[in-house]
Amino acid sequence: MSTATQWWRGGVIYQIYPRSLADSNGDGIGDLEGIRESLEYVARLGVDGIWISPFFPSPMKDFGYDVAAYCDVDPMFGTLADFDNLVAEAHRLGLAVMIDQVLSHSSDAHAWFEASRQDRTNPKADWYVWADAQPDGSPPNNWQSVFGGPAWQWDTRRCQYYLHNFLPSQPDLNHHNPEVRQSLCDAMRFWLDRGVDGFRLDAINFAFHDTQLRNNPPLSADPYADGEPPDSPYGFQDHTYDKSRPEMPTLLRELRQLADAYGDICLLAEIGDDSHRSRDLMAEYTGGNDKLHMGYSFDLLGEDGSPRHIRRMVEGVEAAIDDGYPCWSIGNHDVPRVVTRWGGDAKPEDVAPVYAALLLTLRGGLCFYQGDELALPESELTFDQLQDPVGITMWPRNKGRDGCRTPVPWRADDPGAGFTTGTPWLPIPDAHRERAVDRQAQRPDAPMERIRRLIHWRRHHPALMHGSLTFLDAPDGALLLRRDHDDERIAAAFNLSAQPVRIPWTTGHLPTPLTGHGLGGEVAGDTIVLAPYDAFFGRL
* Cα–Cα dist 342/339, whole Å: 6
> What does the pLDDT read at residue 75?
98
Please confirm, yes or no, whether 202 is among the known catalytic residues: yes
> What does the pLDDT read at residue 2?
33
* 3-state secondary structure at position 284: helix
> What does the pLDDT read at residue 38?
98
**pLDDT tens per residue across all 540 residues of the chain:** 334 479 999 999 999 999 999 999 999 999 999 999 999 999 999 999 999 999 999 999 999 999 999 999 999 999 999 999 999 999 999 999 999 999 999 999 999 999 999 999 999 999 999 999 999 999 999 999 999 999 999 999 999 999 999 999 999 999 999 999 999 999 999 999 999 999 999 999 999 999 999 999 999 888 887 778 888 899 999 999 999 999 999 999 999 999 999 999 999 999 888 767 889 999 999 999 999 999 999 999 999 999 999 999 999 999 999 999 999 999 999 999 999 999 999 999 999 999 999 999 999 999 999 999 999 999 999 999 999 999 999 999 899 999 999 999 999 999 999 999 999 999 999 999 999 999 999 999 999 999 999 999 999 999 999 999 999 999 999 999 999 999 999 999 999 999 999 999 987 889 999 999 999 999 999 999 999 999 999 999
Nearest to 293 by CA among 260, 248, 334, 262: 260
> What does the pLDDT read at residue 224?
81
Q: Contact at 8 Å (CB) between 112 and 127? A: yes
Nearest to 409 by CA among 389, 392, 387, 431: 431
> What does the pLDDT read at residue 226?
73
Domains and CATH numbers, the chain: 3-104+177-208+249-387+443-457 (3.20.20.80), 469-539 (2.60.40.1180)
Please confirm, yes or no, whether 155 is among the known catalytic residues: no
User: In 323-471, which residue ranges form alpha helices assigned H by DSSP?
Assistant: 338-341, 348-359, 389-394, 430-433, 437-440, 447-458, 462-466
User: Which residue out of 48, 202, 318, 534 is catalytically annotated?
Assistant: 202
Sign of the four-CA dihedral 254, 258, 260, 261: positive
User: Which residue out of 33, 172, 270, 373 is catalytically annotated?
Assistant: 270
> What does the pLDDT read at residue 249?
96
